């Protein structure tokens, strides 16, 4: 039995611009990147 895995990430194709310098802002940008955002 073979399973086709969908490797598309939820935010793939979304571009995020981050102008934050406090810890919470860059951390959220990092998390969005893990979800596929550019």
Q: What is the pLDDT of residues 1-38, one digit of tens each?
A: 566 666 889 999 999 998 888 888 889 999 999 999 99
Pinpoint the alpha helices (H) of the chain: 24-34
The pTM of the whole model exceeds 0.85: no
In this predicted structure, what is the pLDDT of residue 13? Answer: 92
List the chain domain ranges.
10-38
The predicted structure's pLDDT at residue 26? 87
Query: Minimal CA–CA distance to 18: which of 1, 30, 7?
Result: 30
The sign of the dihedral angle between the CA atoms of 3, 34, 36, 24 is positive
């Amino acid at each position: 039995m073979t399973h086709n895995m969908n490797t598309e990430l939820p935010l793939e194709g979304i571009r995020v611009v981050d102008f934050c310098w406090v810890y919470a802002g860059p951390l959220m940008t990092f998390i969005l990147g893990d979800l596929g955002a550019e």
